[in-house]
Amino acid sequence: MPPTYLTKDPVLVPNTGYIFVAPEGTPKPTLPLDIRNLRTLRETVGFPWASIGNTSLENGVGHETEGDDAEVLGTWQNPSLRTTNPPKVYTVTLALADFTIDTYKLYYGGGTVTADGSFQIPSVPAASTKAMLIVAVDGDRHVVEYYERVSLIGAEGVTFDPSALTEMPVKATILGGVAGLGEISPVMWGKAVVVKPPTVTALDKTTSAPATRIKITGTNLNAPLTVWFGVYEGTDVVTTPTGTELTVAVPKPVETGDLAVDVKVETNFGESAAKPFTIKQTP
């Protein structure tokens, strides 16, 4: 199914996150992703994307910007004529928590494996260039960041702290690709979520005064939702457990006189088709 972006409450608390890397230039996987668990996510992300493993719970994923601030340029007649557009460098810092050969290569910038399986740190580190995918998950919703080309190498030093998981911070400098620096999705439902947009079959009134309650029947009329009367939001919405009807108070518009509007119901899954309605404001 195509991605369904949240139109109500499009906020995200990233309780879980996953980071994948692949050879530079690897295309972004088809959205949405199946985020039920790591196995289903790996299947929908597909080859050659590979998870980098565990990352810090405390430090998360840090986004930073480097570069000069915009300056205001002006003339004697107009002191604020325009602003400059200084170049920016965007970086993402990842606190890696897995002690694996692949993690060492990202942190130390290359390296080889010895005969006994140990990792040999290179004397001259070289950043690796890869594609990167960050998936931030909040229950059944998620946001996906995609970068066609990033340069990865260790950032700060590693500290062995007896009271905390040891982390290897790696900085990913975004290099950009054919279509720009990268892409980030709005908040969207996971692939496994059944998307049911609302439908409106009938209004019990087609003309009514402000503050009057009307009943709307249809399907998937479940909260959270908004009832629109043109550009005005209906108030005091009461839904039923079955999601087949609701009642709402007609809003008071700014305009005077009778006002013809379209009534629509909007939920996280989309909006219904419009039904004609008249807000009655004349005797």
The residue among 68, 69, 86, 55 whose CA lies nearest residue 172 is 55
Which own/partner contact pairs does 203-208 have at CB distance under 8 Å and 24+ positions apart? 203/263, 203/275, 203/277, 205/277, 206/276, 206/277, 206/278, 207/277, 207/278, 207/280, 208/250, 208/277, 208/278, 208/279, 208/280
Give percent above pLDDT 70 in the chain. Answer: 99
Query: Global pTM?
Result: 0.84
- Tens-digit pLDDT profile for residues 64-92: 999 988 999 999 999 999 999 999 999 99
For residue 170, give the H/E element and its range.
Answer: strand 168-174
CB 142 within 8 A of CB 187: yes
Phi, psi of 78 (to 5 degrees): -140, 95
Contact 9, 268 (CB under 8 A): yes
Tell me the β-bridge partners of 131.
Answer: 22
Per DSSP bridges, beta strands 207-208 and 213-219 are: unpaired
d(CA 148, CA 162): 37
Averaged pLDDT for residues 82-106: 93
Output the six-digit token pair for 136. 């931030």
> Does residue 150 have a pLDDT over 90?
yes
CA–CA–CA angle 282, 214, 257 (5° rounding)? 15
Reported confidence tier of residue 57, pLDDT bands at 50, 70, 90: confident
For the residues 42-52, what does the mean pLDDT come to?
96
Full set of structural domains in the chain with CATH = 16-189 (no CATH), 199-279 (2.60.40.10)
Q: Counting every residue, how long is the chain?
A: 283
Taking the CB of residue 262, how many other CB atoms lie within 10 A of it? 13
Q: What are phi and psi of 48, to 5 degrees?
A: -100, 20
| Residue linked to tokens 């590693």 | 158
In the prediction, which pLDDT does 1 show? 60
The arithmetic mean of pLDDT across residues 267-280, rounded, is: 94
Tell me which DSSP letter residue 76 carries. Answer: S
Q: What gap in Å lies between CA 271 and CA 220, rounded to an integer?
A: 10
> With the C-alpha atoms ordered 140, 143, 149, 150, is the resulting torsion angle positive or negative?
negative
Mean pLDDT computed over 129-149: 96
Name the average pLDDT for the chain. 93
Mean pLDDT on 44-70: 90
